[in-house]
Structure 1
């Protein structure tokens, strides 16, 4: 995903900062009155995540595309460090009583035909949509109106998938396996570090061989106004992941909230989900306020935090001039991501990051098939541009 942080238009945008501050306070108050300190903390974590994601331009879509087509690996290496830092704390926590005497559950799921297809669809969709799950939220919050279309498609695709999940989940799959349970926290971390370390070194050597030096981060760094180097974003998001484990007793997730939002909108329009096999045991969740849902609060926080960061950077400048073709591609990408995320037990955050830091093999499976889909999606988009350039020569 390309960086949303362009050349600064002004040191900051006071009106936007006031509005984002008001929105943040409102979100925190709504979380508080929902009746749980944990919800309040979840909203606060989301706000911090939004600022970090925006200022560090921390996305998976552009990083994967740059690694494949430009042989630049800074974004990929930042993701590797994020996983390693989070795993170092998450592995010992999973299965323990946690800081607040609440058992912490990892995101461990089976991986089979449906999950592989879902991760592949998500990978293609993230290139079409222009961002992953976290990327869609922070760029939309930061003023990218095209990503609002992607988000709309994402929400719709998430709900549509729930109509078909009984079929998809009936397809063959490997059982859920956790390397933390199999090898213990220390052994699991050694295996994880060995795999990710090998990929880190390969990325570094590949970039050095092609360019002679590694890509440098921003020369001028400002904590408040941004931009941040990838290393700062990595540390900040590791904090988000660990804080989420401690506060919510589970890994960070994003896309379940999209499913809830879409179903509630459809329900308001007259849809009845009581007979849907996916929704029938989840009607209490569907009928509660979105402000009582911790994932929704974190997502709202990410968007508001990104809005604040964009205003602090002087970059909040949404435009409605979006070519129809781009709009349709964005919606298509969102639909694919939403549908794929439900098949694959989550997105790049919930399934890949959440799975790997839980020691679940489905996180690694998601990475493989998501990366393949991302590469194909990028090739589909890049080829017409290359042909147009040749035609102009």
Structure 2
């Protein structure tokens, strides 16, 4: 498997572009991903009970398990907008279908931005009609989906599967209100692999649990999130079957794309200066290991300690203790970087100079060994900074 330079349109048969329609003052705010042929599709959505109109429209479209296009806007979430918002979401889907000359039920839509505002449909209509795939700029799609993100997030990988070169690409947005079981994040994955929609859905659900659902920035779960995957089969590989060598290769590609995007989102948390990775081992259950890891990276006290470059391991052990998983409080080992802080729950002397250098890095790895089992789990988050307060205090205004 190779990581290559590319875009969400790198797999065969995909095109993408984006533009500034006018939902935001200057930056790009409308984009499209298009497949030359209907693609097998899968999706997962926010678990927030208050869901935005685009979620319902896309869920309905996915009933046939195929998609040919995804249209995304940023700047306005079209959430908590009532009947008008739902009508606008359906109209957005219809406008895109007409412009792209595809069946309406094969168009997914997604929105991100301010909650409670109606979509300005004249702006949406004009923007959709100006999307030009003949002059496609796929990187413009990467930009068009951003809100408070400071950078685009993308990855492209290739692998030989059943004698054919298969390409998989992913792009995502997310910076604040990130606390999946899904959150304010959108992620789109395209591949030219030939694989059934059913197997794609199974894999997406599995990998979401260990990647996208293991990131947290601020503990808030949004109304709009989704991850969409399209597989159009144009690599012409023989169909990937479950429990085969080909499937194992495809799973490895999917894991790499999903985990990379998840870590990029966590690292780009609003105001963040550091990525925090928690690695929990020695748990009795994999789910409990992931739960402990996520509690560590989600702790406001841990996040502020990392921002202040303070090796306050008491905050970490506190998060382990209230995670709700099985632990033996007398058996816990803990490290920040390569410096051991606890052994069998007893404090250990550490090199302060090396610890200072460790905490100055952009990525901080916290390792916790529970010593009660063999299962493990990871989670990713970021530090909590003064800038986070500033960004969110002024977000609407």
Question: Which structure's relative contact order is higher, taking Cα pairs within 8 Å and 6+ residues apart?
Answer: 1
- Point out the structure with max Rg over C-alpha: 2
Q: Settle same-fold status: TM greater than 0.5.
A: no
Give the TM-score normalised by the residue count of structure 2. 0.24
- The structure that is helix-richer by fraction is 1
Give the TM-score normalised by the residue count of structure 1. 0.24
- The structure that is strand-richer by fraction is 2
